[in-house]
Amino acid sequence: MTEWLAMGGHGFFIWSSYGMFALALVIEIVVLRRSRRSAIEQARAMRADSQAS
Amino acid sequence: MAAMNWFRFASPASFYPIAGPLTAVFGWVAVALAVAGLYAGFVIAPTDAQQGESYRIIFIHVPAAWMAMLIYVVIAFWSLFSLTLNARLPAMMAQALAPTGAMFAFIALWTGAFWGRPTWGTYWVWDARLTSTLVLLFLYLGLIALRSAIDDPRRADRACALLALVGVVNVPIIYFSVRWWNTLHQGATISMTAAPKMAQTMLTAMLLMTFAAWSYAIATALHRVRTLIIEREALSDWVGRFIAESPAKAANDPAAAPRHGGV
Amino acid sequence: MAASSRYPASPPATALAALRWACLRDLRLALRSRGEVALVLVFFVLVGSMFPLAMAPEASLLRAIAPGIAWVSALLATLLSLPRLFSADHADGTLEQMLLAPAPLSALLSGKVLAHWLTTSAPLVLLSALSGLQFNLDGEGIAILAASLLLGTPLLTWLGAVSAALALGTRGGSTLLGLLVLPLAVPVLIFGAGSVESAAAGLGAEAHLSLLAAGSILASMVGPATLALAVRIAHE
């Protein structure tokens, strides 16, 4: 298993690449979901305001 | 005749409900393709004679580079639609694609650097494709920066659309000029296009990952468009029905009741 | 805007006359703010002078990097001058009047762009000789450098004008403008600086200069309509 991880000595480069890729995907998806949630909350607040006024 | 049916989805109100399930579909397709691609790339594909294991980075690097290019062209395509038809949804698609395109450009550069180091000894190589991808990243950042600098969403739509069109015309020119500059100065010994002679399995893995990236890009774009629609159309009736907290509340939600002057 | 009794206060309706009107107007305004114009040229020489200070001023090294530095300095100086193209007219409403005038908007804007090129880029062409001397370029090198700037700056100006119009009235300011213009300017930079290097290597600069010329001609054909659209978008 450790042999496979070492990737013939190139482990650092391979896992840095895949790691950054995974990180970028995770960040993107998290930001996506957060902005959707905040958009919904803001929209609800706007609608509540416009009904109250 | 089929074209007439598609225009039914051209309004945000009718697009929103189908975009949700579509996001999930494309998301899961991306996951499946990526699993298959990574399996083919790591388990099935052999070690390369010259580059050892490090060549396996191309399974991200090449799809990312292709997607960065492709997404920019798609953004230009939607921008053309939004300018000529003065429509909102194409503009939102263009806006939704930009961050993912920038991400792929960045990943292409990062993985290119980490592939270059074990293979050619340096982290950065001024070869034509990497340099063009760097310029492409700046073009994406310009689109995103212009979008956030303009407050009015419709004006931002049209400004970014024009910028994207000017950019897409320039991209081949930029690539041509960089490639020409590169061959003159490098002697073309180092080239990112010198991927290992592709065994069939390597090619398959790369193609699978490319389609996975493409499916992922569609999924994220659709998800972002839905968020954009909520942001822009927050006060209209149909949005109220979709974002209500529960079915009971939706029935009681006064804002969801039919109102004059909605959309 | 103060109207001289010699020409009309509002633009004439035909294309060529409108172009001439806009160009002369901007030239007069530039004459009144000579300091601003000169500042850009001073900046060009200043930036160019920074590089030898930042490295060993060894003659052959300077000669090798001269075209690149001259072109980057020209690019930055052009960038610095771009806000001036529209800011005054945008602030006092003249741009809106141009939108409403019977004169074709593309002609009026072309006049502005021409005036801008005359006051900003044309002097750069002449100043590049100074840069060339600073960097020990020989006579042929200086001539080709000046020619490349002459042929490449129209294209640069059009790219800059469209970007400046899109960024009108936004918060970003000059840094946003830089982010928009510099990537698009990469081919001009490559062929502009490359022309001098190519000539120095004995390969001749015709190909580069022709490409620059073709680019500038194309830009001058497509530019007016694109710029008019950009200005319209900025005023929605």
Q: Is B27 on the interface with C (CB under 8 A)?
A: no
Rounded to an integer, the average pLDDT of C128-132 is: 89
- How far is C149 from B263, CA to CA, in rounded Å? 53
SS (H, E, C) A17-48: HHHHHHHHHHHHHHHHHHHHHHHHHHHHHHHH
Rounded to an integer, the average pLDDT of C59-74 is: 90
Residue C230 belongs to a domain: yes
Q: Is B139 on the interface with C (CB under 8 A)?
A: yes
In this structure, of B23-27, C159-163, C204-208, C229-233, the range with the lowest mean pLDDT score is C204-208
Contacts of B99 in chain A (CB under 8 A): 28
Q: pLDDT at position C59, please?
A: 82
For C133-142, what is each residue's pLDDT tens digit? Answer: 888 888 899 9
Task: Indicate contact of B with A: 3+ CB pairs under 8 A.
Answer: yes
To probe the interface with B, which of A1, A2, A7, A10 has the most B CB atoms within 10 Å? A10
Contacts of C170 in chain B (CB under 8 A): 146, 149-150
Task: For chain B, give every domain's residue range.
Answer: 20-256
- How far is B95 from B156, CA to CA, in rounded Å? 10
Q: Give the range of the structural domain holding residue C130, as residue numbers without chain letter.
A: 15-234
- C72 against A13, higher pLDDT: C72
Contact call for residues C227 and C158 (beta carbons, < 8 A) = yes
Q: pLDDT at position C45, please?
A: 92
In percent, the amount of chain B with pLDDT more than 70 equals 83
* B173/C183 Cβ within 8 A: no
Nearest CA of chain B to the CA of A50: how many Å? 8
Q: How many Cα atoms are found within 13 Å in the side-chain-facing hemisphere of A19?
A: 8
Q: pLDDT at position C69, please?
A: 93
Q: pLDDT at position C211, please?
A: 92
* B154/C230 Cβ within 8 A: no
Q: Is A22 on the interface with B (CB under 8 A)?
A: no
pLDDT tier at C60, thresholds 50, 70, 90: confident
pLDDT tier at C223, thresholds 50, 70, 90: very high
For the stretch C71-100, what's the b/e string if a residue is b when 16 or more beta carbons lie within 10 angstroms of its beta carbon? bbbbbbbbbbbbbbbbebbbeeebbeebee
Contact call for residues C184 and B168 (beta carbons, < 8 A) = no
* Residue B259 pLDDT > 60: no
Q: Is C233 on the interface with B (CB under 8 A)?
A: yes
In this structure, of B43-57, C32-46, C81-95, C153-167, the range with the lowest mean pLDDT score is B43-57
pLDDT tier at C5, thresholds 50, 70, 90: very low
* Residue C131 pLDDT > 60: yes
* CA geometry: angle C218, C166, B130, nearest 5 deg: 65
Q: pLDDT at position C160, please?
A: 96
Contact call for residues B171 and B75 (beta carbons, < 8 A) = no
For B150-162, what is each residue's pLDDT tens digit? Answer: 989 999 999 999 9
pLDDT tier at B47, thresholds 50, 70, 90: confident
pLDDT tier at C127, thresholds 50, 70, 90: very high
Q: pLDDT at position A49, please?
A: 83
* Residue B71 pLDDT > 70: yes
For B175-217, what is each residue's pLDDT tens digit? Answer: 888 887 877 665 444 455 555 566 777 888 889 999 999 999 9
How many domains are there within chain C? 1
Residue C9 belongs to a domain: no
List all residues of chain C from 138 to 167 with a beta carbon under 8 Å from chain B. Answer: 159, 162-163, 166-167
Rounded to an integer, the average pLDDT of B128-146 is: 92
Pick the residue from chain A with its C-alpha nearest to B123. A13
- Helices within B40-152 (DSSP H only): 58-85, 88-120, 128-149
Touching C (3+ Cβ pairs <8 A), the chains are B
- Helices within C93-138 (DSSP H only): 94-100, 105-116, 122-134
- How far is B118 from B95, CA to CA, in rounded Å? 37
DSSP conformation class of A7: G
Rounded to an integer, the average pLDDT of B104-121 is: 89
* Residue B249 pLDDT > 60: no
Contacts of B149 in chain C (CB under 8 A): 167, 170-172, 176
Task: Indicate contact of B with C: 3+ CB pairs under 8 A.
Answer: yes
* Residue B257 pLDDT > 50: no
- B250 against B207, higher pLDDT: B207
* CA geometry: angle C200, C204, C208, nearest 5 deg: 105
Contact call for residues C218 and B170 (beta carbons, < 8 A) = no
Rounded to an integer, the average pLDDT of C210-219 is: 94
- B26 against B121, higher pLDDT: B26
Rounded to an integer, the average pLDDT of B42-59 is: 78
Residue B256 has which token pair? 């969801």
In percent, the amount of chain B with pLDDT more than 90 equals 46
* B111/A20 Cβ within 8 A: yes
Tell me which H or E stretch contains C31.
Answer: helix C15-32
Q: pLDDT at position B246, please?
A: 45
- How far is B257 from B255, CA to CA, in rounded Å? 5
Checking C167-174 for CB contacts under 8 A at 24+ apart, the result is C167/B146, C167/B149, C168/C86, C168/C90, C168/C231, C168/C234, C169/C90, C169/C234, C170/B146, C170/B149, C170/B150, C171/B149, C172/B145, C172/B146, C172/B149, C173/C83, C174/C79, C174/C80, C174/C82, C174/C83
Contacts of A36 in chain B (CB under 8 A): 223, 226-227, 230
Residue C8 belongs to a domain: no
Angle between the N-to-C axes of helices C139-166 and C59-81, in degrees from 0 to 180, rounded to the nearest 10: 30
Q: Is B99 on the interface with A (CB under 8 A)?
A: yes
In this structure, of A42-46, C17-21, C140-144, the range with the lowest mean pLDDT score is A42-46
Global confidence as pTM: 0.87
* A51/B243 Cβ within 8 A: no
Q: pLDDT at position B258, please?
A: 43
Which of B103, B110, B230 has its CB closest to that of A17?
A: B110
Q: pLDDT at position B210, please?
A: 94
Q: pLDDT at position C26, please?
A: 93
**What number of residues does chain B have?**
263
Contacts of B162 in chain C (CB under 8 A): 162, 166, 226, 229-230, 233
Residue B154 has which token pair? 């419709």
Q: pLDDT at position A7, please?
A: 67
ipTM score here?
0.89
C-alpha B22 chain-centroid distance: 16
pLDDT tier at C3, thresholds 50, 70, 90: very low
Q: pLDDT at position B194, please?
A: 52
pLDDT tier at B252, thresholds 50, 70, 90: very low
Q: pLDDT at position B87, please?
A: 86
In this structure, of B61-65, B79-83, B173-177, the range with the lowest mean pLDDT score is B173-177
